[in-house]
Structures are given as C-alpha cells and as structure tokens.
Amino acid sequence: MFVGTLDWKFPYWHYLADLASDTLYVVAACVCAIEDREGVIIFNKDDLLNFGIRQSENMIELFREWNLPEEQEAARNEQIINYFSGVPVQ
C-alpha cells in the first residue's frame, strides 16, 4: 500500500529509475496484481499496461516541461520497453 501511494504521488519512475537494477520491476510488482507460479512472477497484463501508460505519460510531461531533446525521450521509451519485454504477463 505504501508503494502504491508513493507511485501515485510520485509518478516519474520511468524517467528516474536505474534500469540496470530491479527498482522499476519491484515498483511495478508492488502496484500491479501478480501471481507466483512455481517461482515465476506473472503480472496482470492490464495492471502492467496501466502502470506503463501512466508512467510514460508523466515521463513525457517531464520531457516537455524541461524542454529535453526528443531523441532522449525516444531512447528512454525504447529502454523502458526493453526493460519490461521479458516480464511474464497474463
């Protein structure tokens, strides 16, 4: 519940998270419905999609507000997609 509240108050994980760590994965696991199947964590597809959309929208807002280069925004989006590409969903 704490991470869920933090996520709603601070929705900038996609911009700030170190993608070399599990930080973003852990935040997503705390705010999305998950299921443990014999040691494999399966994310609820809709929850993960909603988390991703909300986080991406807020990241884009930061890029626009701070007038950051569009190339950096596109690169970060690609990094986020790659980061979550192997996450099992259902």
- Predicted pLDDT of residue 8: 87
**Given this model, what pLDDT does residue 4 score?**
85
Per-residue pLDDT of the chain (90 residues; tens, 9 = 90+): 889 898 888 899 999 999 999 999 999 999 999 999 999 999 999 999 999 999 999 999 999 999 999 999 999 999 999 999 999 999
Which pLDDT does position 44 carry in this prediction? 98
For residue 54, the SS3 value is: helix
Q: What is the pTM of this model?
A: 0.90
